[in-house]
Structure 1
């Protein structure tokens, strides 16, 4: 969802500071023409356009969905209070969940209406304050513990609900609840089952490939690591996705044993037939370059396009077992 496509219809801010006994709930919506709306739209765009997003549906037992469906213009304020009161109850019972301001919004994109809940966790930083003394002002720097995230900062918990279909897009983070790490935002608050995000799926696939490769080739085989990374990079560049069923065969094409080991790992995550489709360039950025460091501290960064060109880069295994990296046909060498 792009912020320029969003038309804000209603918004309100509630203060859920779990260090206090009660939430501070607002009785008035925000000014829709304020800079605050642009700030909130930017956060909606940031998390809905990322690969951290999860798509899910409310369970039949969810007591949040009826409140969301009842969040009409006539009772928007009261419904938003109920949504935040339920969230505060969970926060107040689990001290590991950080305090926050919560923004509840109704907006439309291309004639479809959505409700957003953004949990703006407090961050601690320094700011200035001025005190008026008898002979003038005294400027000081103080540690402020209730600053909101910046516009470019990633939110830990947020969701957008399609009001026509009930589909939920969310991002979340685990916190300790009753002694164990849980995804409280989806499991306890929204009461919906959230599958893995595209980023999590990609991380699982790449970690499994790395573990198997290290087991059979060792962690010090830099050239083999680059070959593996190049296969994944080419799949993402050419197809925009990874077919889990076939990626093991392509990465470990010379070893049936390694292919079977990869399949076993994917079965543990119920991902054998998954298609991983990251949409954010930030997610796949790590595959675009290979960073190498020698034992003497020399660092080399090789773009994957250059790695694929034998006229640019060549790895040479010497007779004594050492490796030489030959960088060819350099037109200009810059020093930074």
Structure 2
């Protein structure tokens, strides 16, 4: 778990009945329970699902961050309400503002937590002990409904946002209207774009078979381990014998991924685990899960294409077999 030092914590509340804010007049006392809960929430923002970017000095939203933490939180909560109030799906929300240190740098966080109803067992009420409780916080393991974390010094931000429905259409109101920024894709989204682009180029150049799919997963996993994914380097690995395919692949990605994707500041373990092995489904119903290092070792696994076009898989040097 990442190490956060929470300095200040303020909670305002949005009520959908009258679409008004219940504003706090002072920060909360940061107890060990609250510190653990909100540290886990913050950790969810530094993930492969977060969009990233950097505010400019002149960004009107960033200018709301001042030395007066309470005043800043109130102004941002009011700006959020103006942007969100048009949503067709309104429920109670806690608006959490956190001032914290991470790796020695001060950060400012704005988390939106949609509250929920839950059944609670109340002691001392034997006639009706089970009550429906409003305004229950989501579990600590859940990601915030929406979140913005900003490094105060560098102005770099991490963003998790939801689209809202208004007049029959959906919009990213948080980044477009509230923050007035155009963030980079999340790592999760970028990897999907890379995979789709690679498959399309391979298909156009008649290379899209199971061997290419496996090669692609292994190559992307290697880049994750290096904590940087650069389309040019990936192109050299995937299409090493075809210059036109390499150039086409890079060109198809330049709009959505103009710069190498940096991975040093987020938790990308889910994506890494997903790509660390090859999952093969065979036409005869057999399914194989083979770790990349074994898959690429010809002394352990060998794929043989038969003269009739079918495949044979030879698994070698097995010392023990267990039935799980």
What TM-score bracket applies, with the shorter chain setting the length? 0.7 to 0.9
Q: Find the counterpart in structure 1 of residue 323 from structure 2.
A: 335
Task: Answer yes or no: is 1:250 the counterpart of 2:237.
Answer: yes
With over 3 angstroms needed to count, the CA separation of the structure-2 counterparts of 1:168 and 1:42, relative to structure 1, is: same
Q: TM-score, normalised by structure 2?
A: 0.85
Instruction: Report the number of matched residues.
Output: 321
Deviation, structure 1 residue 191? 2.5
Query: Runs of 5+ in structure 1 lacking a partner?
Result: none
Cα pair 2:50 2:158 within 8 Å, conserved: no
Query: Runs of 5+ in structure 2 lacking a partner?
Result: none
Task: Answer yes or no: is 1:11 the counterpart of 2:3.
Answer: no
Q: Tell me how far apart the structure 1 counterparts of residues 145 and 280 of structure 2 sit (CA, whole Å).
A: 32
Deviation per CA, 1:95-124: give whole Å up to 9, x if none. 247652111112234553322111112356
Which aligned pairs between 1:154-169 and structure 2 lie closer than 5 A? 154-169=143-158
Task: Answer yes or no: is 1:26 the counterpart of 2:18.
Answer: no
Runs of 4+ in 1 over 6 A off after TM superposition: none
Q: Pick the aligned partner of 1:67 from 48, 64, 69.
A: 64
Task: Answer yes or no: is 1:137 the counterpart of 2:135.
Answer: no
With over 3 angstroms needed to count, the CA separation of the structure-2 counterparts of 1:123 and 1:245, relative to structure 1, is: farther
Secondary structure class of the residue paired with 1:83: helix
Q: Tell me how far apart the structure 1 counterparts of residues 92 and 280 of structure 2 sit (CA, whole Å).
A: 41
Which aligned pairs between 1:48-197 and structure 2 lie closer than 5 A? 48-50=46-48, 52-58=50-56, 60-62=58-60, 64-72=61-69, 76=70, 78-96=71-89, 99-109=92-102, 111-123=104-116, 126-130=118-122, 136-140=126-130, 146-177=135-166, 179-197=168-186
Q: Pick the aligned partner of 1:47 from 45, 48, 61.
A: 45
Secondary structure class of the residue paired with 2:322: coil
With over 3 angstroms needed to count, the CA separation of the structure-2 counterparts of 1:115 and 1:313, relative to structure 1, is: same
Which aligned pairs between 1:207-218 and structure 2 lie closer than 5 A? 207-217=196-206
Q: Tell me how far apart the structure 2 counterparts of residues 162 and 235 of structure 1 sit (CA, whole Å).
A: 26
Q: Find the counterpart in structure 2 of residue 313 from structure 1.
A: 301
Q: Tell me how far apart the structure 2 counterparts of residues 263 and 190 of structure 1 sit (CA, whole Å).
A: 30
Task: Answer yes or no: is 1:275 the counterpart of 2:263.
Answer: no
Q: Tell me how far apart the structure 2 counterparts of residues 61 and 243 of structure 1 sit (CA, whole Å).
A: 29
Secondary structure class of the residue paired with 1:137: coil
With over 3 angstroms needed to count, the CA separation of the structure-2 counterparts of 1:96 and 1:54, relative to structure 1, is: farther
With over 3 angstroms needed to count, the CA separation of the structure-2 counterparts of 1:256 and 1:110, relative to structure 1, is: closer
Cα pair 2:84 2:173 within 8 Å, conserved: no
With over 3 angstroms needed to count, the CA separation of the structure-2 counterparts of 1:332 and 1:111, relative to structure 1, is: closer
Which aligned pairs between 1:211-250 and structure 2 lie closer than 5 A? 211-217=200-206, 221-237=209-225, 239-250=226-237
Cα pair 2:64 2:76 within 8 Å, conserved: yes
Q: Tell me how far apart the structure 1 counterparts of residues 320 and 18 of structure 2 sit (CA, whole Å).
A: 62
